[in-house]
């Protein structure tokens, strides 16, 4: 199935939750504008000009205005085409507090969010959802409809991990459909590719597993109430990415954890919108605990696919970022830091 996406003039991405914090390093790529670091925070800090004790300083750079990192991902993504703007919240981070604290510190425009898309059922992406729904709906004008929440229908009762010889370790449950509705979300259960947010963005269906080296989430398990048993679930078939199309650049794809493999996801982005180059990939590449050979193949294949910008974050891991930096053109790797605002 091929999609038709409109060409966006630009794309703004606010990183509300991510694993890494670095409010100092600038964007290494002039085509990727990055703000939200110390300079932004300082110049937008409290006004000191009326304080005679500060020797004429203009602003205060406050440490409690800097975001905090957390293991998870939440991106507020706005597509812009002429005077039209549409906003999606891609994932909600691991816990209420992480989402709420950073969204407040960033003064995130939550009232603009039309749809929350959950990339996959894993608590580090869904844990802040109920709080996010409440904050988004509270930020909308009175009488507005609740925010849409785009979910894969196959929610496991629990997800967990079981390395060989060890007992199952269960994650906390993802919010249930009922809890999401109870919090004010309008649930949309989607397993096939479709567009969202005024047709500016598309959400994928299941990502075909094509490469020989991307084998899913090793030791992944799921518990189903119906069977009453923990079963192996390394495939994580419910993972879906978000994509859009940027004028003069190409497709931009957002991936939650890449349990399907970031190269498989990148290739499928091109399947869904043929004859358009893949310009950028942002999110978690899940290579933090991967073998060196997989990391090397991933970097080579992303390069081979002609991807220009890799906004690597969340579970990518420092070794994969190092390898991307080593083998790809300077400026290809733009690490995603919590609190950053990127403009493409």
- Smallest distance, Zn ion to C-beta of residue 139, A: 26
DSSP category for residue 144: P
- Smallest distance, Zn ion to C-beta of residue 123, A: 9
In the shown chain, the binding pattern of residues 229 to 268 toward Zn ion, with x for contact by CB under 5 A and - for none, equals ----------------------------x-----------
Instruction: Give the total of residues touching Zn ion (CB under 5 A).
Output: 3
CB closer to Zn ion, 124 vs 233: 124
CB closer to Zn ion, 8 vs 207: 207
Provide the 10 A C-beta neighbour count for residue 83.
Answer: 5
What is the rounded distance in angstroms from the CA atom of residue 309 to the CA atom of residue 215?
24
CB closer to Zn ion, 138 vs 318: 318
- Smallest distance, Zn ion to C-beta of residue 60, A: 35
Say what angle helices 318-327 and 292-304 make with each other, to 10 degrees.
Answer: 40
Q: Is 61 helix (H, G, I), strand (E, B) or coil?
A: coil
Environment class of 22 (CB within 10 Å of its CB; exposed 0-12, middle 13-18, buried 19+): middle
What is the rounded distance in angstroms from the CA atom of residue 304 to the CA atom of residue 250?
16
Buried b (16+ CB within 10 A) or exposed e, 112-149: bbbbbbbbbbbbbbbbbbbbbbbbbbebbeeeeebbbb
Give me the residue label for tokens 């005024």. Answer: 198
CB closer to Zn ion, 102 vs 137: 102
- Smallest distance, Zn ion to C-beta of residue 73, A: 6
Site for Zn ion in 87-146 (CB under 5 A): 122, 124
CB closer to Zn ion, 95 vs 114: 95
Structure tokens, 95: 């816990």
Alpha helices in 69-158 (DSSP H): 96-106, 123-126, 129-139
- Smallest distance, Zn ion to C-beta of residue 329, A: 27
Give me the residue label for tokens 């249930």. Answer: 176
Q: Is 343 helix (H, G, I), strand (E, B) or coil?
A: strand
Q: Is 174 in the site for Zn ion (CB under 5 A)?
A: no
Closest CA to 279 of 237, 246, 315, 242: 246
- Smallest distance, Zn ion to C-beta of residue 82, A: 35
- Smallest distance, Zn ion to C-beta of residue 218, A: 12
CB closer to Zn ion, 245 vs 259: 259
Contacts of 278 (CB under 8 A, 6+ apart): 250, 251, 253, 266, 269, 270, 305, 306, 307
CB closer to Zn ion, 114 vs 124: 124
Closest CA to 149 of 122, 172, 123, 183: 183
- Smallest distance, Zn ion to C-beta of residue 121, A: 8
Contacts of 28 (CB under 8 A, 6+ apart): 330, 331, 333, 334
CB closer to Zn ion, 132 vs 246: 132
- Smallest distance, Zn ion to C-beta of residue 262, A: 13
CB closer to Zn ion, 221 vs 257: 257
Residues that bind Zn ion (CB under 5 A): 122, 124, 257
């Amino acid at each position: 199935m091929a999609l038709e996406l409109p060409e966006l003039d630009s794309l703004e991405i606010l990183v509300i939750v991510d694993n890494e914090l670095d409010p100092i390093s600038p964007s290494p790529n002039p085509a990727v504008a990055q703000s939200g670091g110390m300079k932004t925070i300082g110049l937008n800090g409290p006004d000191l000009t009326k304080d005679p004790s500060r020797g004429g300083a203009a602003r205060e750079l406050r440490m409690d205005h800097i975001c905090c990192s957390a293991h998870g991902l939440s991106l507020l993504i706005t597509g812009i085409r002429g005077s039209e703007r549409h906003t999606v919240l891609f994932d909600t981070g691991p816990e209420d507090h992480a989402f709420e604290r950073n969204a407040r510190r960033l003064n995130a425009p939550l009232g603009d969010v039309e749809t929350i898309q959950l990339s996959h059922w894993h608590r580090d992406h869904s844990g802040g959802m109920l709080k996010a729904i409440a904050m988004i709906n509270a930020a909308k004008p009175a009488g507005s409809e609740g925010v849409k929440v785009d979910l894969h229908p196959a929610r496991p009762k629990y997800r967990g991990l079981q390395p060989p010889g060890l007992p199952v370790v269960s994650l906390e449950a993802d919010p249930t459909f009922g809890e999401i509705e109870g919090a004010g979300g309008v649930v949309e259960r989607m397993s096939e590719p479709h567009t969202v947010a005024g047709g500016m963005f598309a959400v994928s269906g299941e990502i075909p597993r094509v490469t020989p080296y991307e084998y899913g989430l090793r030791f992944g398990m799921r518990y189903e109430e119906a069977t009453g048993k923990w079963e192996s679930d390394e495939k994580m078939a419910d993972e879906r990415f978000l994509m859009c199309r940027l004028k003069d650049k190409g497709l931009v794809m957002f991936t939650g954890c890449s349990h399907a493999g970031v190269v498989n996801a990148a290739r499928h982005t091109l399947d869904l919108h043929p004859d358009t180059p893949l310009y950028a990939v942002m999110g978690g590449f899940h290579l933090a605990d991967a073998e060196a050979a997989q990391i090397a193949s991933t970097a080579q294949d992303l390069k081979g696919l002609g991807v220009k910008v890799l906004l690597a974050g969340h579970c990518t891991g420092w070794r994969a970022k190092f390898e991307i930096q080593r083998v790809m053109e300077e400026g290809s790797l733009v690490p995603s830091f919590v609190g950053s605002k990127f403009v493409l």
